[in-house]
Amino acid sequence: MKIVITGGAGFIGSNTCVDLISNEHDVVCLDNFLTGKRENIEHLLNLPQFSLVEGDIRDLDTCRKAVKGADLVLHLAALGSVPRSIADPVTTNDININGSLNMIVATRDEGIKRFVYAASSSTYGDSESLPKVEHIIGRPLSPYAITKYVSELYADVFAKTYDMECIGLRYFNVFGRRQDPKGAYAAVIPKFTALLLNHEGPVINGDGTFSRDFTYIDNVIQINKLALFTKNKEALNEVYNVAYGESSTLNELYEEIKSNLSQYDSNLSSIKSVHGPNRKGDIPHSLASIEKAQRLLDYNPLFSLKSGLEATMKWYWDHKSSLEV
């Protein structure tokens, strides 16, 4: 298969590129390197199965160029981060809504039926029901959440109007190798890890009792492929939670990270976190039901937070010389 991955130089995208190429698929990576990293795909650039289209999904002609002759599209490109969307809602909207519309239009016009796209657990908004099930959502709490929900609405309309096969994947707090710890909007696990490796204690937002369903990258790669290749007609034109199905508090997460890294440097075990104010737009608790994905996509996540962190901390330790915060 020839598969287009937008945001293919990003954390989830680059890991998925590597896996698909190892399974003998041809991959076209579309990325503008706004948040993606060239070093994530450098080792792929000379492979005959890999090609890079450097460009922006906000440009429709670039999207058309990327999907030319492709069989499947996996649309991961987005401007992530709730705080960043609060600071700059215009750019978040432009990339996540206009860019996504360009990609689904280009996919339709190229005659490609299957369009798999990254949705987000932020879509659940102020809904307090736990675990999160796909058909019960609340009101969005951030511009980012709005943009990701609009992508779901567009996909639903395109599926019904243009006979496309659209599958949305609501990722829950993904972590793992190649996740960038740098910058103000870094995700919590790489941020905590990089600070610890620099012998600094992190600031935990709030009292640390907020909880999340942390999801290891290999679980995500598994469901990305299931969505791309499923032959189950019932599974099409649906949205799925992508998670492990267990939640941990930020305090528990920090202790687990510290415990893992202390195996490599015992001095880290005494480093304490400090607590700061709650972050705007954050929901207190997030826990996914993965029953729908298990039933319709045969999703079977193999990595818990514990086993995923063991693999992730080893990767960060092996690459610690290149980590900064």
Q: Are residues 100 and 156 in the same domain?
A: yes
- What are the residues whose beta carbons fall under 8 Å from the beta carbon of 307, sequence distance 6 or more? 216
Q: Are residues 50 and 62 in the same domain?
A: yes
The whole-number pLDDT of residue 182 equals 82
- What are the residues whose beta carbons fall under 8 Å from the beta carbon of 135, sequence distance 6 or more? none
The whole-number pLDDT of residue 325 equals 47
Q: Please identify, among 223, 246, 269, the residue that sits at the C-terminal boundary of a domain.
A: 246
The whole-number pLDDT of residue 283 equals 78
Q: Residue 204: which CATH number? A: 3.90.25.10
- What are the residues whose beta carbons fall under 8 Å from the beta carbon of 45, sequence distance 6 or more? 52
Other CB atoms closer than 10 Å to residue 276's CB: what's the count?
A: 12
Calculate the average pLDDT of the chain: 94
Residue that is written with structure tokens 């796209």 in the block: 117
Residue 65 phi/psi, 5-degree rounding, is: -60, -40
Q: How many domains does the chain have?
A: 2
Residue 20 lies in a domain: yes
Active-site annotation holds for 171? no
Give me the torsion for CA of 105, 154, 57, 103, rounded to 10°: -30
Q: Are residues 151 and 233 in the same domain?
A: yes
The whole-number pLDDT of residue 323 equals 67
Give residue 299's identity as a one-letter amino acid code: Y
Q: Are residues 198 and 85 in the same domain?
A: no
- Residue pair 105/96 in contact (Cβ under 8 Å)? The answer is no
Q: Are residues 143 and 257 in the same domain?
A: no
Q: Are residues 221 and 254 in the same domain?
A: no
- Residue pair 11/179 in contact (Cβ under 8 Å)? The answer is yes
Q: Are residues 49 and 158 in the same domain?
A: yes
User: Mean of the pLDDT values across residues 197-212?
Assistant: 91
| Alpha helices by DSSP H, the chain | 11-22, 38-41, 60-67, 82-87, 89-93, 100-109, 143-162, 188-197, 217-229, 250-262, 291-297, 305-318
Q: pLDDT band at 25, cuts 50/70/90?
A: very high
Residue 67 lies in a domain: yes
Residue 291 lies in a domain: no
Q: Are residues 271 and 239 in the same domain?
A: no
Query: pLDDT > 70: what percent of the chain?
Result: 98
Q: Are residues 168 and 260 in the same domain?
A: no
Q: Residue 110: which CATH number? A: 3.40.50.720
Residue that is written with structure tokens 């998670």 in the block: 243
Residue 217 DSSP symbol = H
Burial 232-249 (b: 16+ CB within 10 A, else e): eeebbbbbbbbbbbbbbb
Q: Are residues 8 and 93 in the same domain?
A: yes
User: Mean of the pLDDT values across residues 113-126?
Assistant: 95
Residue 123 lies in a domain: yes
Considering 117, 124, 144, 216, which one is annotated as catalytic? Answer: 144
Is residue 154 over pLDDT 70? yes
- Residue pair 228/25 in contact (Cβ under 8 Å)? The answer is no
| Structural domain span for residue 311 | 188-210+247-286+305-322
Q: Are residues 129 and 154 in the same domain?
A: yes
Helix (H/G/I), strand (E/B), else coil: 322:
helix
Q: Are residues 107 and 164 in the same domain?
A: yes
Residue 18 lies in a domain: yes
